[in-house]
C-alpha cells in the first residue's frame, strides 16, 4: 500500500514538471536571433503558442510589430526566470532606443518538449531600481 502511494506520488510529480531541455532565456534568445520582419509569417508558430495567436491575422502589420516586440529592447541588462510546473515566466531587463529602462515579462507554456510564448507584457520603468530581480509573469503587472 505504501509502495503504491509512493509510485502514484512519483508519477504525479513527474507530470507536474516539464523537460523541454532548454531554458526560457535560451528560447527567447533563439527567437531574438532568428525571427525577423521578413520571416515572421512563417516562423511565428515556432515561438508563439496557438492560444496567443489564435484568430490573429499574422499578415497584419500591427500584429507583426507586436510579435516582433523584441525590437523594442536594444540592450539587455539582465534576465531571470521562474518555472513552476506547466508555466514558466521570464523577465528580461534592458534599455530601449532612447536608453530608457524597460522589462519584458513573458509567460511560456510547454509544447512538445519546447517552450512557447503565451503572454507578453512590456513594462516601462522610470529607473533601473525598478528592474525585477526574479522571473515575473505578465499577470504580475497587467491591471485587470
Partner 1 sequence: MDLTRSEIKITVAKFLEVAYSKDKGTTAKIMAKKGNAKLTVDQDGNATLSGSAGILTFSGNPVLEKIGMKVKRVSVNFTNEDGKNIGYSATFSLEVISMTVTGEFDLEALITSCSGLLCIAARALKGRNAAYDLELQRVMGM
Q: How far is the CB of 105 from partner 1 (least distance, A)?
A: 9
Q: How far is the CB of 29 from partner 1 (least distance, A)?
A: 19
**Pair type for strands 101-111 and 87-95:** antiparallel
Quote helix, strand, coil % in the chain, to nearest 5: 40, 30, 35
Where do contacts with partner 1 occur on this chain (CB under 8 A)?
52-53, 56, 60, 62-63, 65-67, 69, 71-72, 100, 102, 119-126, 130, 138, 141-144
The cell numbers describing 93, all together, are 531587463
Q: Name which of 67 and 92 has its Cβ closer to partner 1.
A: 67
Q: Name which of 18 and 90 has its Cβ closer to partner 1.
A: 90
Q: How far is the CB of 100 from partner 1 (least distance, A)?
A: 7
Q: Name which of 4 and 143 has its Cβ closer to partner 1.
A: 143
Q: Name which of 67 and 83 has its Cβ closer to partner 1.
A: 67
Angular region, 16: left φ>0, alpha ψ -120 to 50, beta rest: alpha
Q: Name which of 79 and 136 has its Cβ closer to partner 1.
A: 136
Q: How far is the CB of 58 from partner 1 (least distance, A)?
A: 10
How is 9-23 classified by DSSP, letter by letter?
Answer: HHHHHHHHS---SS-
Q: How far is the CB of 81 from partner 1 (least distance, A)?
A: 19
Summary count for the chain: helices (H), strands (E): 5, 4
Taking alpha carbons only, the member of 117, 115, 106, 113 closest to residue 141 is 106
Amino acid at each position: 500500500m505504501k509502495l503504491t502511494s509512493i509510485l502514484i506520488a512519483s508519477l504525479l510529480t513527474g507530470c507536474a514538471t516539464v523537460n523541454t531541455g532548454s531554458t526560457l532565456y535560451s528560447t527567447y534568445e533563439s527567437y531574438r536571433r532568428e525571427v525577423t520582419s521578413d520571416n515572421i509569417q512563417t516562423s511565428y508558430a515556432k515561438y508563439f503558442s496557438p492560444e496567443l495567436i489564435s484568430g490573429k491575422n499574422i499578415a497584419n502589420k500591427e500584429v507583426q510589430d507586436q510579435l516582433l516586440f523584441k525590437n523594442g529592447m536594444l540592450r539587455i541588462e539582465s534576465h531571470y526566470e521562474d518555472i513552476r510546473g506547466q508555466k514558466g515566466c521570464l523577465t528580461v531587463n534592458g534599455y530601449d532606443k532612447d536608453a530608457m529602462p524597460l522589462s519584458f515579462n513573458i509567460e511560456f507554456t510547454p509544447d512538445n518538449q519546447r517552450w512557447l510564448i503565451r503572454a507578453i507584457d512590456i513594462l516601462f520603468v522610470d529607473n533601473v531600481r525598478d528592474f525585477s530581480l526574479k522571473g515575473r509573469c505578465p499577470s504580475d503587472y497587467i491591471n485587470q
